[in-house]
Amino acid sequence: MKKHRALAGAAMTAAAALFLTACTTGTTPEESAPPTPVENDTTENDTSEPAAPSAEREPVVFWGSWSGDQVDQLNTHAASFNASQDVYEVTYVPQELVEEKLLTALVGGQVPDVVLWDRPATALYAGKGALAPLDDLIARDGIDLDQFYEQAMREMVVDGVVYGLPLLVDNRSLFYNRALFTEAGLEPPTTWDELLDTATKLTVRDGGTLERSGFALNDPGLFSAWLRQAGGQMLSDDEQTVAFNSPEGLAVLAFWQELLDAGVYELGFGEGTDAFAEQTVAMKYDGPWALSGLNQTDVDFGIVPPVSGPEGGQGAGMGGFGLVIPEGAKNLEGAWEFVKWWTTQPENGVAFAEIAGWIPANIESANDPYFVDNEQYAAFIETLNFAQTRPQVVGYSDVEGKALIPALEKFLAGEISAQEALDEAEQLGNQLLAENR
């Protein structure tokens, strides 16, 4: 028995030693060479036309955090680019948490050539020298920056230098359950008052329990859009202090209170599932990303632009992606060709929407009949005309994330009053702005 155990022990030792050496000397193919995903994995690329053999083409490494089904979408689109010319070969590599991966890539010295980039992150990373400035290339190739939505474009500019081009835009518009509206004989709202009215009429309670919410007031993060509808602004004109602690800010919170008092919504209602898809919420603010999921259910829904404020003010938040080229990318030219192909040629923006449903940041492309004539996109396109992105000031994201939204959450929970919430948020927010200056 003992001998048996000793043998087992020896075998284990040997195995462990063997194993360790195998790992550190890099005998497997993935370890012996730097990770350039050049392997033209044709099983993933759904090419419609045969492309030139990969050996002759320069690789362009394309990173992004899109995963799952979206990988195929990007591969299909990249394949179109590859088929359109025979110099470069773009390959998409999904990277969870792509900004962090870029950091480690910069440290490790193996950066990708082009990245599907969350636009608001540009200021932080460009400031640290992580992104390549594109002004020279833009001038050389005569790219007109006005062809993009101005708000999206400005997110890619830091200290007057352009660090990427906007690629996709989105905003939050008002989804409404058309079946419920028709049943109640209502029209979708266009103002705050109409919103309150229709929401109240569509709310259903069983005894005291909320069964159907007329309007999901579940995202205090949309405050900036509401504030603009009320005619206010988030920061002072010189962007040194916050400006939301104003009569307009209080007007927004007063309206939210009216919605809550009318019983239209309760905190946490429908969270954790898709309540709109389950038809327990009649109206909500959401973006184009929700379309594909909803279209797989049988909910009859429509979309209209966000409602206007009491004085007719309009406001909506714009988000989206851009394409950037990291500093030190091996194939700058190839990456630039890909960026130009996708962003400046309107038909390619439309083509991607056909694959993936995203709206291009190129104005001409976004106003293609494909979108404008499509009832599911029409509202989003209209909203894009007045949607705004967030201020670029350093520390602004913390002002919203750490100072404002927590205060609003406490207000919605009934723990503090509207004035207290805005006061608290103002104090912390100004402190954050000052700290980051």
Partner 1 sequence: MTTAAPRVPQRRRTVRSRVTGALWLVATAVLSVSTIAPLVWTLATSFKPAGEVLSSALRLVPSEPTIQNYLDVFSTVPFGRYFVNSLVIAVGGALTNVFFGALAGYALAKLRFPGRTAVFGVFLGSMMIPTIVTLIPTFIVLRSFPLAGGNDILGQGGIGLINSYAAVLVPYAAGPFAIFFMRQFFASLPDELGEAARIDGAGEFRIFTRIYLPLTAPGLAVLGILTFQAGWNTFLWPLIVLNDPNMMTVQVGLAGFVNNYETAYGPLMAGTVIASIPVLVVFLFAQRYIIQGVASSGLK
Partner 2 sequence: MSRPGARQQAISGWLFIAVPVVLFVVFLLVPIVAAGVMSLSDYSIIGETTWLGLENYRRMLADPFFWIAMRNTVVYTVMFVPLGLVTALGSALLLNRQARTVKLFRTFFYIPVVSSTVATATIWYWLLNPQHGLFNVVLGWFGINGPAWLYDSKWAMFAIVLMSVWAGFGANMLIFLGGLQGVPQELVDAARVDGANAWQRFRHITVPALSRTTFLVSTLLVIAAFQVFDQAYVLTKGGPGNSTLTIVYYIYNKGFDRLEMGYASAMSLVLFVIILVVSLVNARLSDPAGRRA
Between CA 193 and CA 6 the distance in angstroms is 82
* CB-nearer residue toward partner 2: 135 or 278: 278
Q: Which spans of this chain sit near partner 1 (rule: CB under 8 A)? A: 2, 5-6, 9-10, 12-13, 15-16, 19-20, 23-24, 26, 28, 30-31, 33-35, 37, 66-72, 93-97, 100-101, 104-105, 107-110, 272-274, 277-278, 287, 289-290, 292-294, 296-299
- Assess 124 for contact with partner 2 (CB under 8 A): yes
- Assess 128 for contact with partner 2 (CB under 8 A): yes
- Minimum Å distance from CB 125 to partner 2? 8
Q: Answer with the entry of partner 2, partner 1, none that 402 interacts with (C-beta below 5 to 8 A by kind).
A: partner 2
Cβ-in-10-Å burial (0-12, 13-18, 19+) of 37 comes to middle
- Minimum Å distance from CB 37 to partner 1? 7
* Segment contacting partner 2 by CB under 8 A, of 125-133, 173-181, 283-291, 336-344: 125-133
* CB-nearer residue toward partner 2: 140 or 205: 205
Give the CA distances from residue 41 to residues 44, 53, 54, 87, 125, in Å, rounded to whole numbers and listed in that order. Answer: 6, 12, 10, 18, 31
- Minimum Å distance from CB 191 to partner 1? 29
Strand, helix or coil at 210?
strand
> Which x/- pattern, by CB under 8 A, does the window 179-218 give for partner 2?
------------------------------xx--------
* Segment contacting partner 2 by CB under 8 A, of 48-56, 76-84, 282-290, 400-408: 400-408
- Assess 37 for contact with partner 2 (CB under 8 A): no
Between CA 158 and CA 139 the distance in angstroms is 17
Between CA 151 and CA 390 the distance in angstroms is 9
Between CA 290 and CA 279 the distance in angstroms is 14
Q: How many CB atoms lie within 10 A of CB 31?
A: 13
Using CA atoms in the order 22, 28, 34, 38, what is the torsion angle rounded to 10 degrees? -170
Identify the CA nearest to 186 among candidates 174, 201, 196.
201
- Minimum Å distance from CB 110 to partner 1? 6
- Assess 407 for contact with partner 2 (CB under 8 A): yes
Number of residues that bind partner 2 (CB under 8 A): 31
Instruction: Report which secondary-structure segment, H or E, holds 303.
Output: strand 301-304
Give the CA distances from residue 247 to residues 180, 227, 238, 244, 435, in Å, rounded to whole numbers and listed in that order. Answer: 35, 10, 20, 8, 26
Residues 261-290 close enough to bind partner 2 by CB under 8 A: 266-269, 271-273
